[in-house]
Amino acid sequence: MIVSVAGWWLTRPATYNGKTVRAWAMLVAAPDPNVRAQAHAELKRIGPEAVPVLTDMLQEQDPAFRSGAWRTAQHLPRSLRYMVLRNVAWTNAVEVRVAAARSLAILGPEARTAIPALNQALHDKEVRVQLDAAAALGRIGRQSVPVLMQALEENDASIRHAAAYALGEVGPDAQPAVPLLTKALEDNDPQVRSSAAYSLSVIGPRRLPPR
């Protein structure tokens, strides 16, 4: 009994001002602006200690059974649909991944060890996760530039768009990406072209190609 209690105590998640890192991360997009501000401040205070938990959250996936049940329920008669939805919790792994990316963006350069996980999230099938992962990479700064440059050459236009915009968030430290961003001005996708133009203007107007 004593051994099991001691084991639980040693493995329980650390808490900060009464909440775990995961709990604080899930509040970064809370409807109440005061709650959002508190979560932001607490994550900044926790700093790099939060990164391992947030990295795990970036890889959160819904159990196949739960996702399948929700997909199936949409095609059932109303009475059966209600029965299924009442007994199967809402699938929320996407919200967890989004919250993790937003939290890592709050940490900025202190989250640099999360770059590989954010790069993976940049290739997530959900566009919301892609965009927030790219934003976090942009906030981390110059150390994210290589992975964002690689993403500029992906086949998926939504990934190219997210990467192009994030390079602008890096700012002048993204100078090595200027040739690729210049090339992206001729991309087939209008969002990619727009993001590339924005980023080139932020990185430095003198780097814009002649008209």
Q: What is the DSSP string of 91-147?
A: P-HHHHHHHHHHHHHHHGGGGGGGHHHHHHHHT-SSHHHHHHHHHHHHHH-GGGHHH
| Whole-prediction pTM | 0.80
What pLDDT is attached to residue 116? 97
What pLDDT is attached to residue 22? 94
Q: Say how far apart CA 144 and CA 129 lie, in whole Å.
A: 17
User: In the chain, what are the domains?
Assistant: 18-112 (no CATH), 141-211 (1.25.10.10)
What pLDDT is attached to residue 67? 54
What pLDDT is attached to residue 10? 47
What pLDDT is attached to residue 92? 84
- Sign, CA dihedral 78-79-85-86, equals positive
What pLDDT is attached to residue 12? 67
Question: Could you list the pLDDT tens digit for every one of the 211 residues in the chain?
Answer: 554 444 434 456 788 989 999 999 999 999 999 999 999 999 999 999 999 999 999 999 876 545 555 567 666 777 666 565 555 555 589 999 999 999 999 999 999 999 999 999 999 999 999 999 999 999 999 999 999 999 999 999 999 999 999 999 999 999 999 999 999 999 999 999 999 999 999 997 554 455 5
Identify residue 207 by its one-letter amino acid code.
R
Torsion angle, alpha carbons of 16, 17, 21, 23, to 10: 150
Q: Which residues pair with 15 in a beta bridge?
A: 20
Instruction: Report yes or no: 129 and 101 within 8 Å, Cβ to Cβ.
Output: yes
Instruction: State which H helix or E strand residue 16 sits in.
Output: strand 15-16
What pLDDT is attached to residue 13? 76
